[in-house]
């Protein structure tokens, strides 16, 4: 098993489906678990390749990022449906900037949007705790959403992957406190309160919980804020120093990494690789 194997079954299947322009399928947006009866979306492909260890140095990612940057510059168009509730051009910029910044943190196009978002979060926590009215006012002042358009919360995959490196230490600390205590967890990733540990360790829920922690591990406050999860994770090592999240953790997004989980040894190796990576990231602030 090689957790970050670039010639493995899963990566090869995804890369074979990539369009010449760097996208996948006919739609860009959709972070739901891929289903065989529906075409793969670009976001689903990017997330899976990211989990498998692909980075900007790899051609499939570089092609996709070049496409997204062209969309941000207005040179290309995102072929996608428009969700009526949001200001859709703004939302496209939101998700494109997030994905570009995930793979290319220093990119100025995405960084400019991230700093705008950061200014909103600074205002939202200016008084020492989350102030929803201040958040809404700051969002409207910054982005001028159209009449009747929904203002998104920031407890979601996009916002939290945009913000590392743009907030003051004080605001970042307050933000992570808010995320950990939020009843809905991190939208698109884990739907329960992150301060409450999953009841069953060997489960798909724990796999998703750990992925939510991996997002928070991008912040400098992670060492302080996520210490309680490290103790819990380490308490579930087996006698060989490995972890096992169980067969049901295989969801086609976070697992498997190996070509197959028919052997329990491969499943344990995958789980151990992912969890060790998370623990390293919590202990040492990371940017990519």
Radius of gyration of the chain (CA): 19
Judge whether 185 lies within some domain: no
- What ranges in the chain are assigned the alpha helix state H? 9-16, 42-51, 59-72, 88-103, 108-124, 132-143, 157-162, 169-181, 204-216, 222-225, 227-234, 264-283
Residue 2: the pLDDT is 39
Judge whether 45 lies within some domain: yes
Taken in order 58, 59, 64, 69, the sign of the CA dihedral is positive
190: three-class secondary structure by DSSP: strand
Judge whether 48 lies within some domain: yes
Judge whether 58 lies within some domain: yes
Distance CA 189, CA 209 (A): 8
Judge whether 171 lies within some domain: no
Judge whether 18 lies within some domain: yes
What is the number of structural domains in the chain? 1
Residue 91 contacts residue 139 (beta carbons within 8 Å): no
Domain that holds residue 59: 1-81
Residue 224 contacts residue 282 (beta carbons within 8 Å): no
Judge whether 278 lies within some domain: no
Closest residue by Cα to residue 88 from 77, 102, 104: 77
Residue 130: the pLDDT is 97
Query: Which stretches of the chain drop beneath a pLDDT of 50?
Result: 1-4, 286-288
Q: Look up the pTM and report it.
A: 0.92
Judge whether 47 lies within some domain: yes
């Amino acid at each position: 098993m090689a957790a970050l194997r670039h010639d493995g079954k899963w990566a090869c299947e995804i890369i074979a489906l990539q369009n010449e322009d760097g996208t996948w399928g006919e739609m860009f947006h959709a972070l739901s678990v891929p289903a065989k009866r529906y075409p793969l979306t670009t976001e689903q492909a990017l997330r899976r390749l990211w989990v498998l260890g692909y980075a900007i140095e790899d051609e499939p990612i570089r092609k996709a990022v070049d496409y997204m940057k062209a969309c941000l510059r207005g040179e290309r168009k995102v072929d996608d449906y428009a969700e009526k509730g949001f200001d859709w051009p703004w939302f496209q910029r939101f998700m494109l900037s997030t994905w570009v910044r995930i793979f290319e943190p220093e990119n100025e196009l995405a960084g400019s949007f991230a700093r705008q978002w950061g200014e909103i979060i600074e205002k939202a926590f200016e008084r020492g705790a989350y102030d929803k009215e201040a958040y809404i006012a700051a969002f409207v002042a910054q982005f001028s959403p159209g009449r009747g358009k929904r203002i998104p919360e920031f407890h979601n995959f996009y916002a939290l992957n945009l913000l590392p490196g743009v907030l003051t230490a004080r605001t970042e600390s307050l933000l992570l406190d808010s995320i950990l205590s939020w009843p809905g967890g991190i939208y698109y990733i884990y739907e329960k309160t992150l301060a409450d540990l999953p009841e069953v360790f060997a489960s798909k829920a724990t796999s998703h919980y750990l992925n939510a922690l991996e997002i928070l591990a991008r912040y400098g406050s992670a060492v302080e804020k996520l210490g309680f999860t490290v103790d819990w994770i380490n308490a579930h090592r087996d006698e060989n120093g490995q972890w096992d999240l169980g067969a049901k953790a295989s969801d086609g997004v976070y697992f498997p990494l190996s070509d197959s989980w028919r052997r329990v040894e491969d499943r344990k190796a995958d789980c151990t690789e992912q969890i060790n990576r998370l623990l390293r990231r919590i202990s040492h602030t990371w940017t990519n």
